[in-house]
Amino acid sequence: MSRIKRLKASLTQFPDIDAPSMWLLAFEHRAFWEFWAGMLGFKPLQLLAPWGDGHPVLVIPGLGASDGSTALLRKFLDGLGYVTYPWGLGRNLGQKEEGTASMRQRLKFIFDRHGKKVSVIGQSLGGVFARELARFDPDRVRQVITLGSPFTGHPLASTGTHLYEWLSGDRFEDLDFSQHLEMRVKPPVPTTSIYSKLDGVVAWECSIEEGRPEGESINLRGNSHIGMGSSPNALYLIADRLAQPENDWKPFEASGLGRWFYGPDDHHPRERNRRRRAEDKARTS
């Protein structure tokens, strides 16, 4: 048994969730095609997506990534009337106290500049950071949208554990995992967790916001982990969520062709089946 597997088994305070298979990880290369699909569908998507109200949006990249990885998403949202900001802290090298302080300063700067609450979007580990920002400074955050972010479940249910250690310089044996128990507490703002059951990096069960008011989990069906911030269906969904009125947030409901791409109840089969029965009954009545 490997060192990481032994440590994972010893952390009995967390549910036993397996990391994605090596087969799913191998298919993460489809993110390349998702990116180019987002590029090609850029203009048509902007015509279809709801227009924004001009409020500021902070976008945080995932582990090992920099602001370049979120450039397409930010350009797309800028074109819808939002004012987007990169996180401006270089490459994401893991969780550091100084990084948290810098992100809070960045959030305060954006809030003070616009006099409006800031929506925060984070991909993968960046989504964990986004939730923490909202927990620390809820008066400055309008909503949080996470993309394949492991904020619950088991902290080692990922195929990226060795990458995290290499980039951060930390060994998991030296980390305080009690912090992960604190991270799973939902921030007091509307939260949308976008995940994929075909994620090859983070176990999708680690991205579920379960049973909380003003919180939702949406399966981006068929998507990769890496391409979650650039695929056409991801771009449209993010725009839809950002367009929710500040004081009248409502959970996402897939309709029409959207039922093929989005599964707001895929993590909860009973609720999904109940809704389908209700829809069938309404059509036949």
What does the pLDDT average to over 136-161? Answer: 95
pTM: 0.92
Average confidence score pLDDT of the chain: 91
pLDDT tens profile 83-133: 999 999 999 998 777 778 999 999 999 999 999 999 999 999 999 999 999
Residues of the chain above pLDDT 90, percent = 73
Q: How would residue 46 be classed by pLDDT, with cut points 50, 70 and 90?
A: very high
Domains of the chain plus CATH, in order, are 3-284 (3.40.50.1820)
- Whole-Å CA distances, 121 to 1, 38, 56, 139: 37, 18, 11, 16
- Beta bridge partners, 84, equal 57
pLDDT tens profile 229-258: 999 999 999 999 999 999 899 999 998 888
Confirm if 171 and 147 have CB atoms less than 8 A apart: no
Distance, in Å, from the CA atom of 241 to the CA atom of 55, rounded to the nearest integer, reads: 13
Residue 199: closest CA among 57, 25, 17, 51 = 25
Output the pLDDT for position 272.
Answer: 47
Output the pLDDT for position 83.
Answer: 98
